[in-house]
Structure 1
Amino acid sequence: MSSFAILNTAFRGLSAARAGIDVTGQNVANVNTEGYTRQRVQQSATPPLTQMGLGRLAHSARVGQGVEVDGIARLGDLFLEARVRQTASGEGYASVRAAAFRAVEDVHGEPSDAGVAAALQDFWGAWQDVANSPGESAQGWVVVERAGALVDRIADGRARVESAWQQSRTGAGSLAAEVNTLAAKVAALNSAILDGSGQGGAVNELVDQRTLVTAELARLTGATTSGNPDGTVDVLLGGDLLVDGNRVTEVRLAGATSLDGAAGAPVHLEWAHRPGSTVTLEGGELAGHLSALAPAGSGGVFADAAAGYDALATAIATQVNALHATGRTPSGEAGGDVFTFEPGRSPAAGLRVAVDSPGQLAVAADGAGALDGSVADRIAGLGLASDGPDTVWSAHVTQLAVRSSAAGHDAQIATAAAGAATNDLLSHSAVSLDEETVNLMQYQHAYQGAARVLTAVDEMLDQLINRTGRVGL
């Protein structure tokens, strides 16, 4: 090989080493950048010339022409990235469900002095006091007051459940809008990546950004991705395309806007261009919200809680009114309803106290006299009945606690799985300063070596050009 060819080889070595230093510097600069995937220079040896002009070179030992920089590789892992998206989907769903159960448990506040159970005990205790002191108006006033306090507590609990349902629906609507925004970002990044690749530019950073966005979409909706040969990706929800290259199909939230309306029109996600066409979600925070917003009996956290309050209100009114109807007031009249329901409202929200004075309380059995308190005693006994209101409420609270505990456990497992998947991806693709320091030293020495080759060739050419023929000098 001629000295001039060696100069070209040394120049290629300098360029490759400089490219390696540039990429190493980029890695170090982005060590704390979220979603950044470390990069490496891809190099290959340049083969020797076998032909020059119109003639083939002689068959003698020939040295290659140095090194080629083939590109800059992004050291990601498609399998680990897919696992991160999958576990993020599970974590998003489980965390929202667990949060919904915690919100409902906070509303119930059991056991506590401010809970419904305490109000029930006070109510039965007031009836027992009347049974022990029939004819005393003071105890009768306590019954009226305790009945009002119980009604208020039940109505307040259900109203707070309705408020929690509304907050969850508002959150779901915000997430649906965010899904459309993120999908548009993926489509824009697809276009940028396609253009950059077509022009021979580096698109690794754009791919990193797209990976972050698709992971966020997976956390929100359980979306999956499918790569295309041109470098773009499609995003799918339940097998249908949310993002197709640079095109986006938007979604929107539809269904009931109140808890009581959810039974007839469950809240759901649908395609914006096809009203009524439900989007199938396989996980994610949005699916968690839709699950919590579902009707009672269909996994709906808030609707089941509201149904518990309604069942309690119905049990109290039905059982207390039935026993009270068998008694007689101090004036000898048959007992009327202690509780009524306001038409057009749910039992818990519409429960009302129908008596407003001790004279309306029928505490004596028919024919037993005004000083009899047996009916009041039987009403007080509802607090210990196996099918009484307390039992109805206790069963509801117990079931809620069990489901909440299970949801919390699922959330912990999902969070641990998501964390493990993220750590695995980071261990493979995140920047290691120690590794980059070693690489930097390698490229630095390579650059120095190539520069030394240039110096040596320069000295050789100087000897050849300027000193050839000058014998003895």
Structure 2
Amino acid sequence: MGSTFGGLNTALTSLYAQRRGLDVTGQNIANANTEGYTRQRVVMHAQNANLVPGIYATTDAVGSGVTVSSVERLRNSALDHRSYTEHANSAYHNERAGAHALIEDVFGEPSDTALQARLQDMWDGWNAVAANPSQKAPKAALLEQATTVAASLNDAAGALNSQYESTRAGLETYVGEVNKTAASIARLNQEIVVATQAGLQANELMDQRGMQIQKLAELAGATATEMPNGATSVYIGSAQVVAEFNSRTIAIAQPAANRIEDLANYNVSLRWTDLPPEVSVDVGGTMGSQVELLARDGTLAGWSKRLDDVATTLATTVNSVHNGTALDADGNPMPAYGVDGSSGLDFFVERNGRVDADGRPVINAATITVNQDLLNNVDKLAVSSGDPTGQAPPGLKVLDGNRADALADLADSRTGADATYQQLIGDLGVASQSSIRRRDIQNAVTDQVDAARDAESGVNLDEEMTNLLTYQRGYEAASRVLTTIDSMLDQLINRTGLVGR
């Protein structure tokens, strides 16, 4: 049979439970705009009056109130893991699309001031020289236009190298962020396990850990697996970076390239600091895209090589005509002379005078420049097919402008610098558009996953206000029960047996 005073405890447990519900609801409302916060809910269980019933015992007790067994995080683990994956993919494609946009800015096509327009100005300059081979003004203008072309190539190569250096510095920063984040996750694992084993709630700590894991996923494509004791193991690629309370660190494998030209001797990759250097880290996310950009066969090196091809093609085709080594359609040499009878000069040269094993200039986009001898004396510009001084065989005094005209015709060559550059710009445009489309598609997928996760774990203020009223009314009702029982007990204790006295 139930105790006369048992109702007090039943009402009291209800007061405790409803107040806990109010506290949790208030916590949800307070963190409605907190990034990474997971909505919480109290789980109440009715208390049994017969916790250890006897075999033949009977009771008419209806229960002993209510208890809050736990405060749950309304989290869907499957959506969490999907979110880590999709955020890593979004970070990868965002970095990749951003890099292509910066590369497009380097070339700035189409534009009246970009390389294609400056090449056309140079070819028009050769036409002007061909029309007036004896005048110095068109030659001086041509040399200025050619200098501008070489400077444009130099600037583009320098801009690509600057992008490489900034990306390389960013990768160094992200390595430190990954190591710090992994250590933070390991520390949170320990705090959560200790709190859980002590019977305490660790929901806010779990939210912090989830944010750190998502950050690591965006940085390096990390994934996570829950352990039975409440800890979480985190992986980068197939290797474990956080194992319960311990974390590992990564570093850039040394020696590493710091500039594009360093890629001839070094590469850029990531390694585990506790493993041999040849064991690389298979990263995704932002860092995965950066490693692709910086690698020897990566994006920046590839476009830099394509730009070098333009510079090399320009120098080779122009020099072969200007120095008289080019052959005509019949395979005969095409001699070229300046007004002063000079010949055999290269129009474009290597800025630092470097040559390969065969003694040929190593000309690329960063080092191409116009021959200083021509800038000092425009009469050395090879514009004629015959020697104007009459000193060279066959001894004819000729100033015909044929070589200048042949140089102007290089603008229409299918294998010339213009065609090579136009192919580069076309391929860059296709690659950039592809990266933008993939980024937009991936971001849409990520937004959908985030929306699904927020619908389940995010705070809905309308719903919380309803819960607030529910717990408020429950608390008021429990208080009324307590008041009623108190009144009954007062009647029983203080007034029963006083009749007739």
Cα separation, partners in 2 of 1:58 and 1:275, compared to 1, 3 Å:
closer
Alignment of 1:134-149 (within 5 A): 134-149=133-148
Alpha-carbon separation, structure 2, partners of 1:452 and 1:421: 46
Could you tell me how far 1:468 is from its partner in structure 2?
2.3
Alpha-carbon separation, structure 2, partners of 1:472 and 1:222: 86
- Name the amino acid aligned to 2:20: A
Classify the secondary structure of the residue corresponding to 1:261: helix
Aligned residues: 468
Alpha-carbon separation, structure 1, partners of 2:102 and 2:55: 82
Classify the secondary structure of the residue corresponding to 1:41: strand
Equivalent residue number for residue 284 of structure 1: 285
Equivalent residue number for residue 62 of structure 2: 63
Q: TM-score, normalised by structure 2?
A: 0.89
Cα separation, partners in 2 of 1:333 and 1:465, compared to 1, 3 Å:
closer
Could you tell me how far 1:266 is from its partner in structure 2?
2.1
What per-residue deviation string (whole Å, max 9, x for no partner) do you get for residues 18-63 of structure 1? 11111111111111111111111111111122668xx777435431
Equivalent residue number for residue 348 of structure 2: 339
Alignment of 1:69-468 (within 5 A): 69-254=68-253, 255-295=256-296, 298=297, 300-324=298-322, 325=324, 326-341=335-350, 342-343=353-354, 347-354=364-371, 355-356=374-375, 357-366=377-386, 369-468=397-496
Could you tell me how far 1:450 is from its partner in structure 2?
1.6
Stretch moving more, 344-353 or 407-416 = 344-353
Could you tell me how far 1:332 is from its partner in structure 2?
3.4
Alpha-carbon separation, structure 2, partners of 1:451 and 1:59: 30
Q: Unaligned stretches of 5+ in structure 2?
A: 325-334, 356-361, 387-393
Alpha-carbon separation, structure 2, partners of 1:105 and 1:384: 24
Alpha-carbon separation, structure 2, partners of 1:396 and 1:124: 20
Q: Decide whether the 8 Å contact of 1:147 with 1:353 is kept in 2.
A: yes
- Name the amino acid aligned to 1:287: G
Alpha-carbon separation, structure 1, partners of 2:59 and 2:192: 46
Classify the secondary structure of the residue corresponding to 1:147: helix
What per-residue deviation string (whole Å, max 9, x for no partner) do you get for residues 236-295 of structure 1? 111111111111111112321111122442211111233524443352111111111123
- Name the amino acid aligned to 1:347: N
Classify the secondary structure of the residue corresponding to 2:260: coil
Could you tell me how far 1:394 is from its partner in structure 2?
0.5
Could you tell me how far 1:155 is from its partner in structure 2?
0.7
Cα separation, partners in 2 of 1:346 and 1:464, compared to 1, 3 Å:
farther
Classify the secondary structure of the residue corresponding to 1:72: strand
What per-residue deviation string (whole Å, max 9, x for no partner) do you get for residues 287-333 of structure 1? 111111123xx3x2321221122111111111111112131222334
- Name the amino acid aligned to 2:22: I
Alpha-carbon separation, structure 1, partners of 2:318 and 2:29: 75
Q: Unaligned stretches of 5+ in structure 1?
A: none
What per-residue deviation string (whole Å, max 9, x for no partner) do you get for residues 63-103 of structure 1? 11111211111111111111211111011100111111111
Could you tell me how far 1:220 is from its partner in structure 2?
0.6
Could you tell me how far 1:176 is from its partner in structure 2?
0.9
Alpha-carbon separation, structure 2, partners of 1:72 and 1:245: 24
Q: After the TM superposition, list the runs of 4 or more consecutive aligned residues in structure 1 that deviate by more than 6 angstroms.
A: none
Alpha-carbon separation, structure 2, partners of 1:213 and 1:279: 23
Alpha-carbon separation, structure 2, partners of 1:421 and 1:266: 36
Equivalent residue number for residue 7 of structure 2: 6
Q: Decide whether the 8 Å contact of 1:180 with 1:251 is kept in 2.
A: yes
Q: Decide whether the 8 Å contact of 2:313 with 2:417 is kept in 1.
A: yes
Cα separation, partners in 2 of 1:394 and 1:87, compared to 1, 3 Å:
same
Alpha-carbon separation, structure 1, partners of 2:56 and 2:461: 47
Classify the secondary structure of the residue corresponding to 1:173: helix
- Name the amino acid aligned to 2:314: I
Q: Decide whether the 8 Å contact of 1:134 with 1:370 is kept in 2.
A: no
Stretch moving more, 195-204 or 457-466 = 457-466
Q: TM-score, normalised by structure 1?
A: 0.95
Classify the secondary structure of the residue corresponding to 1:349: coil
Classify the secondary structure of the residue corresponding to 1:262: helix
Equivalent residue number for residue 36 of structure 1: 37
Could you tell me how far 1:334 is from its partner in structure 2?
3.1
What's the RMSD between the two structures over aligned residues? 1.9
Classify the secondary structure of the residue corresponding to 1:73: strand
Stretch moving more, 237-246 or 410-419 = 410-419
Classify the secondary structure of the residue corresponding to 2:257: coil
What per-residue deviation string (whole Å, max 9, x for no partner) do you get for residues 330-386 of structure 1? 233433211122317761122122222222122111467432111111110000111
